[in-house]
Amino acid sequence: MAFAYPTKQTDRETKTKELERNRINFVPEGKTELFCYASNMLSADDNTKKLRGRVEILDFLQEQSKSTSAFTLVAGYGNGTLHPLSLDQDLFTVILKTFNLPEKVHEVIYSIHGVFARFVESDDGDGDGPKSLLILLSTPKAPVREVFCTMRITPALNTVTCLLFDAQLTDLGRIIESVHNINRDNPARLSAWKTAFQFLLFLARELGHTSESKRHALDRSILGAEVQTKSTPWDDPSRALVRWPNDIHEATSVLHLCHNNLLFVARAVEFEIDLWRWLRRLVVGGDSKNEALLWLRGSDVRAGVWTALIDSIDFEMVHTMNKKTQIDCLKERIGVQINLINNLIAHQESSQTNLIAIVALVFAPASLIASIFSAGIFATDHRSWIAYVALTVPITILTVLTGVSFLEQQKLKHCLSFDVSSLIMT
């Protein structure tokens, strides 16, 4: 690694790169916060630091550029668009130069689409320098899990450098804890870092855990709606479900929100499937003597362990595909609930219309008779009230009974037509 402090350059190419770089959202210089990690993989003398000051971070980078650490990780949080990266722009430039990362990193971080790629590169332009393997991994910009990771493997120097960003600090803390775990407290737990390929598998599993937790929460929400509408046989009072609002219009809005969240989760799961397939092609699809495959595998991984990793990829890929099938089923269930609530709204509006019609039938005869009496056709005195009541009551009762009978006949006719159409469809 070659360490370089930021310098002022005025050439046109540098200005163009600056404009490209400005598209990424960074934090101000005083709010930089990074996790820095270095390990030899052969000893327990791991160096993990949470560095806030730029001077400390620059010292760490300069120290690692001269050391023989087999694995160096610099990690921050944010996604570079809606959530700024947790470092300033100049420090980001220093890290790119120190880790010898290409300019395409800017485009990958800013992209809203998922990216995974590998490149075999040389330190110099003519291809005579030591070769290294560059890996780029970036998830789609969606509210599920946003991770960017770039890794460079240099076999001649026996080093691996990694730059990692996770959108949420809590998720990043879980990754750092897993990487730093070297079995001091719990020997049964293994560190997430053994080889470069195992670290990529760990990141892919992390993405799967997050999307599964989102899917599980949405499943409970949809099940809660089904319990409220009595459209499911599931009933367990001992388990608390998500309680839906009694107002059916508000419930419809919540269902639409669940549907939108499912679309994001489905997009994330589709990316996970493509990622697992790509990882499998890295280790299975190519030649066993491929230098990139050997660099990913590492020199200390036994054949049995490598076979177990490939089997683990197959399992995760099948599991993720089944998860996608479950998400598609949730979409259909949400559609059923939305249609059901729309039918309830239509029924409620129809009931209100019928009530208004009945009220109108009650007052219509009285109003009509009152209009006749007030027209001056007949002489009116105190006995006119007796005649008015004697005419109004029976006519009103007859009119209401006729109207109710008509509404019942229309309702029965609608039910019969619905049953016939259902039989035809079946």
pLDDT score of 258: 87
Question: Per residue in 381-394, pLDDT tens?
Answer: 666 666 666 777 77
The whole-chain average pLDDT of the chain stands at 77
Alpha-carbon distance 230 to 341, whole Å? Answer: 12
Residue 203 to residues 115, 139, 188, 200, Cα–Cα distance (Å): 14, 11, 20, 5
The greatest distance separating any two alpha carbons of the chain, rounded to the nearest whole angstrom, comes to 121
337-389: per-residue pLDDT in tens? 888 877 777 777 777 777 777 677 667 776 776 676 666 666 666 666 666 66
Q: Can you read off the two tokens belonging to residue 370?
A: 């009152």
Where residue 42 falls among pLDDT bands split at 50, 70, 90? very low
Q: Is pLDDT at 174 greater than 80 in this prediction? A: yes
Distance CA 404, CA 415 (A): 17
**Residue 119: pLDDT over 70:** yes
316's enclosing H/E stretch is: helix 303-373
pLDDT of amino acid 239: 55
| Closest by CA position to 226, among listed 263, 258, 201, 273 | 258
pLDDT > 70? residue 190: no
The predicted structure's pLDDT at residue 19: 46
Structure-block tokens of residue 351:
């009931």
Q: Residues 251-275: what's their mean pLDDT? A: 89
Q: Is the pLDDT of residue 319 over 90?
A: yes
Give, rounded to a whole angstrom, the gap between the first and last alpha carbons of the chain: 70
What's the CA gap between 374 and 97, in Å, rounded? 98
- Rounded Cα distance between 281 and 299, Å, is 20
**133-136-139 Cα angle (round to 5):** 160
Give the mean pLDDT of 108-127: 78
pLDDT at 129: 65
Would you state the pLDDT for residue 285? 62
Q: How many CA atoms lie within 13 A of 336 on its CB side?
A: 14
Tokens of 281: 């092609």
Flag whether pLDDT at 245 surpasses 80: no
pLDDT per residue as tens digits for the range 52-68: 678 888 888 888 777 76
Distance CA 153, CA 121 (A): 10
Mean pLDDT, range 277-298, rounded to an integer: 73
Q: What is the mean pLDDT of residues 102-112?
A: 87
Q: What is the pLDDT of residue 414?
A: 58
Classify residue 191 by its DSSP letter: P
Determine contact, residues 7/61, Cβ cutoff 8 Å.
no
CA dist 55 to 29, 59, 62, 268, 319, Å? 11, 6, 11, 37, 45
Mean pLDDT calculated for residue range 397-403:
74
Question: What pLDDT sits at residue 424?
Answer: 42
The model's confidence at residue 318, banded by pLDDT at 50, 70 and 90, is very high
Amino acid at 272: E
Q: What was the pLDDT predicted at 209?
A: 93
Summarize the confidence of residues 168-186 as an average pLDDT. 74
* Mean pLDDT calculated for residue range 142-149: 87
Whole-angstrom Cα distance, residue 17 to residue 9?
11
Q: In this predicted structure, which of 85-99, 129-143, 313-327 has the lowest mean pLDDT?
A: 129-143
User: Which is more confident, 138 or 418?
Assistant: 138
Q: How many CB atoms neighbour CB 402 within 10 A?
A: 11
Q: Decide if pLDDT at 289 tops 70.
A: no
* CA–CA dist 321, 310 (Å, integer): 17
CA torsion, ordered 158, 164, 170, 174, to nearest 10 deg: -20
Selection from 102, 93, 160 nearest residue 132 by Cα: 160
Give me the residue spans of the domains in the chain: 1-189, 352-425
Reported confidence tier of residue 397, pLDDT bands at 50, 70, 90: confident
Instruction: Produce one character per residue of 117-135: b if its CB has 16 or more CB atoms within 10 Å, e if not.
Output: ebeebeeeeeeeeebbbbb
Which has more pLDDT, 41 or 387?
Answer: 387
Worst-scoring range by mean pLDDT, 47-56, 187-196, 316-325, 416-425?
416-425
- Please tell me the predicted confidence (pLDDT) of residue 396: 74
Residue, of 210 and 412, whose pLDDT is higher: 210
pLDDT score for 66: 77
Helix, strand, coil content of the chain in percent (nearest 5):
60, 10, 30
Beta bridge partners of 134: 119, 152
CB atoms within 10 A of CB 45: 9
Q: Please tell me the predicted confidence (pLDDT) of residue 269.
A: 93
Give, in words, the CATH class of 1-189.
alpha beta
**Which tens digits make up the pLDDT trace of 225-244?**
777 777 777 666 555 555 66
Confidence band (pLDDT; 50, 70, 90) for 189?
A: very low
User: Which residue is it, tokens 């897993």?
Assistant: 178
**Band of residue 305 on the pLDDT scale cut at 50, 70, 90:** confident
Closest CA to 136 of 191, 167, 96: 96
The answer to pTM > 0.85 is: no
